[in-house]
Chain A
Amino acid sequence: MNEPSTIDDLLDSRLMAHLDRLDVVSKKIFAGKIHGERRSRRRGQSVEFADFRNYTHGDDLRFVDWNIYARLDRLFLKMFLEEEDLSLVIAVDASASMDFGTPNKMQYARRLAMALGYIGLVNNNRVGLFSFSDDRIERLTGLRGRRRTREMGQWLLNLQPQGKADFAAACRAIALGGQGRGVLLLISDFLFPEGFEKGLRSITGRGFDVYALQLLAPEEIDPARHGVIGDLRLVDSESAAEVEVTASSAVVQQYRERLDAHVASLREYCVRRSIAHQVVETSLQLETLLVDYLRRRGLLA
């Protein structure tokens, strides 16, 4: 996969046509900032009937049910579900560890974020993008409508993976970012030396419907098949720390067990906090991920 240089590289027209039929779904119902196309717990002005209540002074007479008044001689007010917009926050890990693998994890993250953001924009949701790398957090918020697609794409193209990621700080910034409650997508490899628990803990309980998409390159999942074998000096892409390893089958097996344990602990942590977790191998077709995997997980409909 080549380095994307244009927005078309991130999201081609064929995939775009598929995505036009999809929408972001939240398992939770949030209060939006403006009228949107989504149900909320507020009673509002949609056509979907919700309940009756007694008329009180000052209520809008347009919502009085005159038929009931004719039968019971009492004023009742018809209440309807309010349709509100949805806040979609996409956080992309842009640390150096994401610049690894074939297909490259960072490029895959860019394309995935672009596709999900596009779905949000098309469905008139509020879309906000965050990236975190090298102790910096960059954001692009307040996007709505299809016409913001190019702006979002350009922002993603400008992302450069570098340095170490402070996942906890990034999550804290997102939680306090005032984006409103909605769907939060975390796109990362979750290979944080200091752990992922602190970061995830900071965004739970804040009303986000959180999806953790863990990107792993094929070389990370099965290193022996991709030539990581023999006497090696392994260099950490973020810290530049070196580890001398004789990658025998026993060591590779041990590595795989370690990675599996890491993924399992992340999944268990997410399940306990109602966070949806999905491991994504970057060799997986993006369209398959969106149309098949994420629809099955309930993120898209």
Chain B
Amino acid sequence: MMAVPPSILAVDWIAPVAGAVIAASTIPPLLALYFLRLRRSRRVVAATMHWRRAAEDVRANAPFQRLRLSLLLLLQLLALGLVALAIAQPQVDLGLGGAEKIALLIDRSGSMGALDGGAERGTRLADAKRRAVDRVRALHGGGLFAGPAPSIMVIAFASEATVLCPFTDSSAQAIAAIESIEATDELSAISGGVELARSFAASGGEDGTASSSVPAVLEVYSDGRIGDLDGLSLRDGERVIFHRIGGEDSPNVGIAAIAVTRMPESPGEVRVFARVVSWSKSPTKTDLELRVDGRLVAVTPSPVELGAAMQDAATGALLPAQTQAVFPGVQVPAGAVVEVRVTADDLLPADNAARVVAPRLGGLKIALVGRGSFVLRSVIQGLSPASFETLTPEEWNKRVATDPLTPDAFDVVVLEQVTPQSMARGRYLIFGSAPTGTSIIPFGTKEQVVPRSIRSEHPLMQYVNLDDLFVASMAAVAPGSDSDVVVEASEGPMILTLSRGPLTLVYVSFDPIDTEWPFQRSFVNFTANALAWLAAGGLPAADEPLSPGAVAAGRLPAGAQSPSVRVSSGVTAPLSLLEGGRFALGPLRRAGTATIAWQGGSQSAAPTSLAYAVNMDCQAEGRLDAADQLQLATNSVVAQPSRAASQSVWPWLLLAAALVLLLEWWVWLRRT
């Protein structure tokens, strides 16, 4: 690790010979002139007898007493020396050692929104931007004798990194890039930014900056609370300068999690759960407010008490104090935004509230096409659908032939060993027979199959355990380019998804009836997951809170027109729809809500708005005491004191010379 020792200053001389020549050609003549034209001011004294003897005594002991402590001569020599030094053009290097490239990595994660940045009590991000701009100005100080300035790259990072300005020699461009950084409430991860800096440094800048084998100096402006530092290691010759932003003791209370469940006995009411955390090092208490669509509906009867954040004895990490709060029995309509807010005033407002969209009151509209087996009917009916129709293949084909938009009348169509004539649009959960008219190509059957690869993170696989699944026979299919295999056996895909325009499907390549899967809990969970996933257009359901930085994607009802989106800041913008009424909104970088509104739709009674809640992760971003150092995988970087940069010293030397000359003139005036 090449942590920069802050106290070591290197001085480079750009024109040392010129300075030496100037000094050699001016100082000796000055001394000669001083001896030749020493000007004495006349002064009458009462008697000179003591002065004469005193001067004789001193002169006898010091032959060069004329030079001793002659203030004017000293000032003139000092001024000349300063001018000679200025012409030699010294440059003080404050730790960069003549770096060719500098990448400024500016943290814009949620914790950088804390209001303790600088004297104006702005955010930490504002302080970081100000210091970065100062840094750029110092690095590109310019001037008559200025040496080569390093190329500067600007990267903003939070959950992901963004290059705002590739390596450039233009300070204006770099400053504009810094000024354009917008705050987010995302998590903090720096690895992507470091990789970007490395890539750009190796490949050269867009403005023709040559590629270089010398790595860029990484200057990090952050509070040091970065999530992926322990996975980051520096390469040979790579240097990091850590500009610490933020204070040391910054207590913060926030909502770490929120959940809403409808009460079975009273579907119009919900129960709201909230987890409150405190990073304060002393016990604290706060009231909690419950708001529905911005309207205050409840307050905790007594303040919620939180202990002090404690050090984990095993890891040494600081663990926040936390407690749970419950608001029972609150009337909340479907789609309303439920918000829990702490009333305590702290430095980070973004995590003081968490929101969630209340789940819908009823279930889905589902059609089951095929043989209508007892197992599937039971599972679907157990999920309390809003409507459930069982159709034969003939009935389904007839309806589709009559009205091609029939699939859009259902949230999900379940096909059980059925291959419909047309699958141009709609959302299907297919068991058994391979779909036709898609990129999925069947090529026979496979027997005695067990899952080999399961993508457990996929929404379809939430709470689904396939360890005991054994399939006696399944259709052998080749997935197309628009398919996504979720569960795969050695013989081919067992479960896959396909999304192509208005068509979205989940295909299970075997008949569950031929397995023991229907007798396991995971079959019910899988069916529920698949129905919800398909109903949302192959995307997460809207009632799940999003993390900052996520993209809200979903599907609007058929016929929805003039969709627009309104975010918490009050900004409203039109929303562009993709094929099949699908949309992608975001990334949503700030905590709050994003509400999509539209007009019309296939059903007049259906809702015409859809809200997404975005909550800051208080557990990860709520700790506000800035770190003293960046603890990387194999080394650490100590925070550097705030200061400008490597800088040319000559302007200051010239200024000092001018001041000395002014002082010399003033002294001369006083004596004459």
Contact = CB atoms under 8 A, between A and B. Distances in A.
B21 interface: no
Interface in B32-66: 38-55, 57-58, 62, 65-66
Given A230-B70, A251-B65, A100 B46 contact: yes
B295 interface: no
B69 interface: yes
A234 B46 contact: no
A199 to B, nearest CB: 16
Given A246-B70, A248-B65, A249-B69, A232 B41 contact: yes
Residue of B38, B50, B72 with most partner-chain A CB within 10 A = B50
Interface in A189-223: 189, 191, 193, 217, 219-220
Nearest to A254: B54
Interface string B522-566: 000000000000000000000000000000000000000000000
A259 interface: yes
Contacts of A1: none
Interface residues of B, number: 30
Contacts of B39: 231
Nearest to B670: A227
Contact of A230 (B47, B52, B53, B72): B72
Interface in A136-193: 189, 191, 193
Contact of A255 (B46, B51, B71): B51
B44 A100 contact: yes
Nearest to A105: B46
Contacts of B68: 246, 248, 250
A259 B58 CA distance: 15
B542 to A, nearest CB: 87
A191 B47 contact: yes
B458 interface: no
A215 to B, nearest CB: 10
22 contacts: A100-B44, A189-B46, A191-B46, A193-B49, A220-B46, A230-B41, A230-B71, A231-B72, A233-B41, A234-B45, A235-B48, A238-B47, A246-B55, A246-B65, A248-B58, A248-B69, A248-B70, A251-B54, A251-B58, A251-B65, A258-B53, A262-B50
Interface string A238-277: 1101111110111110110111001000000000000000
A228 B47 contact: no
A275 to B, nearest CB: 22
Contacts of A255: 50-51, 54
Interface of A: 97-98, 100-101, 105, 189, 191, 193, 217, 219-220, 227-228, 230-239, 241-246, 248-252, 254-255, 257-259, 262
Contact of A234 (B51, B53, B72, B671): B51
Contacts of B47: 97, 189, 191, 193, 236-238
B40 A250 contact: no
Contact of B40 (A101, A231, A257, A259): A231
Contacts of A217: 46
Nearest to B38: A231
A160 B54 CA distance: 30
B58 A243 contact: no
A251 B44 contact: no
Main secondary structure of the interface of B (DSSP, over half): mixed
Contact of B48 (A234, A246, A248): A234
A220 B44 CA distance: 12
A225 B51 CA distance: 16
A233 B46 contact: no
Contact of A245 (B46, B51, B62, B671): B51
Contacts of B72: 230-231
A116 B388 CA distance: 133
Given A250-B68, A251-B58, A254-B58, A235 B42 contact: yes
A252 B38 CA distance: 19
A258 B50 contact: yes
B178 to A, nearest CB: 54
B57 A254 contact: yes
Contacts of A98: 46
Interface in B209-243: none
Given A231-B70, A254-B57, A191 B671 contact: no
Nearest to B45: A234
B283 to A, nearest CB: 65
A245 B38 CA distance: 11
A244 B45 contact: no
B58 A250 contact: yes
Residue of A238, A239, A255 with most partner-chain B CB within 10 A = A255
Given A250-B58, A251-B58, A251-B65, A233 B43 contact: yes
Nearest to B57: A254
Given A243-B51, A251-B58, A254-B58, A232 B46 contact: no
Interface string B561-582: 0000000000000000000000
A2 to B, nearest CB: 20
A243 B48 contact: yes
A295 B62 CA distance: 47
Contact of B46 (A97, A243, A251, A257): A97
Contacts of A241: 48
B668 to A, nearest CB: 9
B54 A234 contact: no
A223 to B, nearest CB: 8
B430 to A, nearest CB: 105
A242 to B, nearest CB: 8
Nearest to B34: A231
Nearest to A248: B69
Contact of A243 (B52, B62, B65, B69): B52
A250 B50 contact: no
Given A250-B58, A258-B53, A262-B50, A233 B65 contact: no
A105 B48 CA distance: 16
Contacts of B48: 234-236, 239, 241-243
B47 to A, nearest CB: 4
A13 to B, nearest CB: 32
Contacts of B46: 97-98, 100-101, 105, 189, 191, 217, 220, 237
Given A230-B71, A230-B671, A250 B43 contact: no
A81 B146 CA distance: 101
Contacts of A250: 58, 62, 65, 68-69
A219 B39 CA distance: 22
A233 B40 contact: yes
Given A191-B47, A230-B671, A243 B55 contact: yes
